[in-house]
């Protein structure tokens, strides 16, 4: 996996992010002290779950020769009683039986980001200068 690097961007809280040759921005909403130029860290976290879910469904359906034409995954994150609550909605498009749809929902729960978010997580922090 390419490392993700964050450093100060323009404005009060904007961050310039790089991952290999890819460049993108993160910021927070003006109400939270930012300029709203770029997705928030929570939006990137939701995007990771949404993208991984859709990719996993596409790979599985392809291997099983299912007629999955598209998987539209929407993720919303909100903090409720000091718990981050992820709401994930999955819309499956294609000529799929009820059994195939049920199986695809099971597979959605096996995507690597879902597993990471629901499993044990360790964050190791090191000062490097």
For a pLDDT cut of 70, what percent of the chain falls above it?
100
Note the pLDDT tens digit of each residue in 9-36: 999 999 999 999 999 999 999 999 999 9
The helix or strand, by DSSP H or E, that contains position 93, with its residue range, turns out to be: strand 83-95
Question: Across all residues in the chain, what is the average pLDDT?
Answer: 97
State the pairing for strand pair 22-26/15-19: antiparallel
Note the pLDDT tens digit of each residue in 52-105: 999 999 999 999 999 999 999 999 999 989 999 999 999 999 999 999 999 999
Cα separation, 12 vs 30, in Å, equals 10
Q: Which residue has the tokens 């998987």?
A: 71
Note the pLDDT tens digit of each residue in 30-43: 999 999 999 999 99
Cα separation, 127 vs 67, in Å, equals 50
Class of the CATH domain delimited by 41-118:
alpha beta
Which ranges constitute the DSSP H helices of the chain?
A: 41-63, 98-108, 112-118
């Amino acid at each position: 996996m390419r490392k993700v690097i964050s450093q100060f961007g323009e404005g009060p809280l904007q961050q310039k992010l790089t991952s290999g040759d890819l460049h993108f921005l993160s910021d927070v909403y003006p109400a939270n002290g930012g300029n709203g130029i770029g997705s928030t860290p929570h939006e990137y976290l939701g995007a990771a779950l949404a993208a991984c879910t859709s990719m996993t469904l596409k790979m599985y359906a392809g291997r099983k020769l299912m007629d999955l034409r598209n998987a539209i995954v929407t993720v919303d994150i909100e903090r409720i009683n000091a718990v981050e609550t992820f709401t994930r909605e999955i819309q499956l498009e294609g000529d799929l039986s009820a059994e195939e749809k049920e199986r695809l929902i099971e597979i959605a729960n096996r995507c690597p980001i879902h597993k990471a978010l629901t499993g044990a997580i360790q964050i190791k922090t090191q000062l490097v200068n």
